[in-house]
A and B are shown apart, each in its own frame.
Chain A
């Protein structure tokens, strides 16, 4: 079975631009979460979506938004990119809203110049 897939794997953007990152969860998983991992730190929670509804939001500005589609895939959008948004963005899926553990994809490496 395929694991969590994320696209693209790498991305280079300029300050002020916007970006859309995509995630497909493991088949049968209904919950998708997004994490940001800055170099030298652990992943930091951004969003959780379950059954297309936002179930949790981390301490990130409104420039960050996400959504989940009927097929449970998800998009993370970041507007007005800043240099500090350069990071590895990880998507994770789980069976249900409170299921554990999370299964992570390999991430999207975003570089903002």
Chain B
């Protein structure tokens, strides 16, 4: 039972363009969402989060959008840089807490 789904296993984008990573969830109790980035041989690194009381949160080149009615969130990276190439995980929780439910990840490749 996948409560958090990232349906695109991989995404390839040209340097300087926008990267859009998508995530869908099924559990209505989820009210806090996070994106993590993971490089090979390293642990996931926190990128950005959003609470369900918001529909958008920005941090530099990264913006997360939340559509609660569609149970969908997306991460926009503008402009994309080669160093952004990594696996991106969407995660959700019911309330602030440590029990995160992760998606399977999307491999982002930014070509220079």
**Is the Cβ of A102 less than 8 Å from the Cβ of B102?**
no
The count of residues in chain B whose C-beta lies closer than 8 Å to any C-beta of chain A is: 26
Contact code string A39-66 (vs B, CB < 8 Å = 1, else 0): 0111111001000000110100000000
From A31, A33, A42, A94, name the one whose CB has the most chain B CB atoms within 10 angstroms. A42
Q: How far is the CB of B90 from chain A (nearest CB, A)?
A: 8
Q: Which residue in chain B gives the minimum CB-CB distance to A9?
A: B41
Residues of chain B within 8 A (CB-CB) of A48 are 97-99
**Is the Cβ of B42 less than 8 Å from the Cβ of A106?**
yes
The count of residues in chain A whose C-beta lies closer than 8 Å to any C-beta of chain B is: 28
Residues of chain A within 8 A (CB-CB) of B89 are 42-43
**Is the Cβ of B95 less than 8 Å from the Cβ of A102?**
no
A109 to B88, CA, bound (A): 20
Q: Which residue in chain A gives the minimum CB-CB distance to B93?
A: A100
**Is the Cβ of A104 less than 8 Å from the Cβ of B104?**
no
Residues of chain A within 8 A (CB-CB) of B45 are 104
Binding site for B on A (CB under 8 A): 4, 31, 33, 35, 40-45, 48, 55-56, 58, 90, 92, 94, 97-107
Task: Using A58-B99, A92-B43, A100-B49 as known contacts, list a sample of 9 further A-B pairs with CB atoms less than 8 Å apart, ordered by residue number in A.
Answer: A35-B102, A45-B98, A56-B99, A90-B44, A98-B97, A98-B98, A101-B49, A102-B46, A107-B43
Binding site for A on B (CB under 8 A): 4, 6, 32, 34, 36, 41-46, 49, 89, 91, 93, 95-105
